[in-house]
A and B are shown apart, each in its own frame.
Chain A
Amino acid sequence: MPGPQPGAKSEVALSLEVNAPPLRSSRYSPLGDQIFTWAMLACGLCVLALVGLIIYELVTKSSNSWHAFGMNFFFRSEWDPVNEQFGAFPFVYGTIVSSLLALVIAVPLAIGVAVFITEMSPGWLRSPLAFTTELLAAIPSVIYGLWAIFVLVPLIREYVEPFLARHFGWTGLFEGPAYGIGMLAAGVILAIMVVPIVSSITREVMTAVPRQQREAVLALGATRWEMIRTGVLRNARAGIMGGIILGLGRALGETMAVTMVIGNRPEIAKSLFAPGYTMASVIANEFSEATSDRYLSALVEVGLALFIVTIIINMLAQVLVWTVTRGTPARANV
């Protein structure tokens, strides 16, 4: 009997039987396996087909508007359904400003939380804290919106906006009447929603940094903060960047909470107190009321742009996270 074939990996046992037919039960028929393989393949192809369908739907349904306005669509500020003149610039502006505002608030907090949980927290507190921050991600967007309308917005109107106007009004970012509703409220509620994403990715990449890195830096006489800065954060920075970009992707596509507090006016104002409008919000508010073909098509084109941007952002984020966590064992969900 021949020995194990070179190169045979886990099928050593089978390779001993080279001359005999493969060991199968008497009821074995290849048909069952074939049907099974094809059925599972069909499910897998469904995923491909879905993304294909999304792209097809968005592209075909937006062609009317694309042919009418071309690339200019994204640089025009007019949004006039009655005269069928559409330009998406105020929505693009509102989406970018509200998302960036959210990141400015959320990123330091999220990194602070991640640093505390992975490097400073006593062991017994680690798991409950991680679970609690992740619970923030499980709250539906519409509930954040509800809470924002009745709790956050009055708070911002009564306290935050007068304070900002008094002390930072000279920057021009905080002036005008304090409605509460507006870009600032949208940025704050988005920040609350983005924190758990950024902090859980940051935690993941920080955990992936080898222990020896920390020990080596500590052995050189570093304080804990110096150890975190040079030993951990510097090694994990690409992954943290990935987490931030992932948070940006979430903020860009977030619909309900923003729609409920941003004010929904297609205006471009320097002040963060002013109402605005985002790409996702305009679709949510106007899609089911869009009567003419071109109106609908313009809304779908806004959706297409949002789709392309979020896809690129998510891909970029994944590559960045992957560069840090690659090669480390499956993460333990702290």
Chain B
Amino acid sequence: MSSPADNPSEFTAPQISLWRRGLNNLVTVAAITAVIIVLVPLIAVFGYLVYKGIGSINWAFLTQTPKPPGEVGGGMANAVAGSALILAIGSVVGVPIGIGAGIYLAEFGRNRLGDLIRFTSDVLNGVPSIIVGIVAYGLVVLSQGHFSALAGGAALAIMMIPTITRTTEEMLLLVPHAVREAAYGLGVSKWRTTLSITLRTATSGIITGVMLAFARVAGETAPLLFTAFGNQYWNWKINQPTAALPLQIFTYAISPYDEWHKQAWAGALILIVLIVLSVSAVRFVAGRGMLKGAG
């Protein structure tokens, strides 16, 4: 610890009082305590997930559909598949729009319309997920007349777009202007420059943004409650109610059956493994590409 009192020059600093030194140490201890308190739930959540979840994951859990309450066995295979379907729909809709909007902001958005879109995208980012659910219900479920995977996918797409838009813009702006000028200098048109030069240079950063958005919506439950709704059986049709992993975890967790509680833990473990895998993939990609030191 550096203290002016240790200064060997002829200037004699006043001795730091016991009270000030004590307070300094007290705050240091308090900060360390805060770190420990914050880490405890993290470790506890992961610990319990592994401890409770791993015992309930078996072949049946990964391949079968749910059994009626009270019966032992059954699994969440249809929920995993349903989640994949809903996430695929969400990504197919959300990713191109998000990237497109990001390109607009970075390449054409230095004006008032750009500012407006930037602002709106931040607003959209802050909208609580349950409200996105209400809107998807109004837009898709009401017009179709029933719950569907499509409605769930639409809700997730709405949640993905702002994240992808803003990261795409940030990443494109990191690409040096000279790279664009070099392409223009060769007579390459604006659209080809953007797509095959600028966008390609920023690819790893944009993938990071997409994966972050994906990881964020993969665990979302609230917007699926009254859009995808859930289903006890296999479903591959996009206009039918569909099971989803987070929904199934929710239903099982609040149920009164022990067997279902076990399955909820197993489902949660699978969900978190999928999410952590995608987040680590992001770190891996981001650590290698041009993002190094920038993102």
Contact = CB atoms under 8 A, between A and B. Distances in A.
Contact of A44 (B2, B105, B295): B105
Contact of A120 (B28, B42, B44, B97): B28
Contacts of A299: 134
A258 to B, nearest CB: 10
Given A10-B181, A43-B100, A44-B104, A151 B48 contact: yes
Given A10-B181, A140-B271, A223-B3, A135 B189 contact: no
Chain B, interface size: which category? 35 or more
Contacts of A150: 48, 52, 253, 261
B77 interface: no
Contacts, number: 277
Interface string A191-211: 010010001000000000000
Contacts of B264: 146
B37 A109 contact: yes
B219 A48 contact: no
B131 interface: yes
B179 to A, nearest CB: 12
B239 interface: no
Given A40-B103, A143-B271, A330-B294, A284 B131 contact: no
Contacts of B218: 140
Interface stretch (A71-79, A84-92, A110-118, A172-180): A110-118
Contact of B221 (A32, A226, A256, A311): A256
A306 to B, nearest CB: 6
A50 B124 contact: yes
A306 B126 CA distance: 11
Interface of B: 1-4, 13-14, 16, 20-21, 23-24, 27-28, 30-35, 37-39, 41-42, 44-45, 48-49, 52, 96-101, 103-105, 107-109, 113-114, 116-117, 120-135, 137-139, 158, 161-162, 165, 177, 181, 185-192, 194-195, 215-216, 218-222, 225-226, 229, 246, 249-250, 253-254, 261, 264-265, 268, 271-272, 275-276, 279, 293-295
- The 5 lowest CB-CB distance pairs between A and B, nearest first, are A140-B219, A253-B128, A112-B34, A43-B100, A36-B191
10 contacts: A43-B98, A43-B101, A54-B135, A120-B28, A132-B42, A149-B253, A225-B27, A280-B222, A288-B225, A314-B126
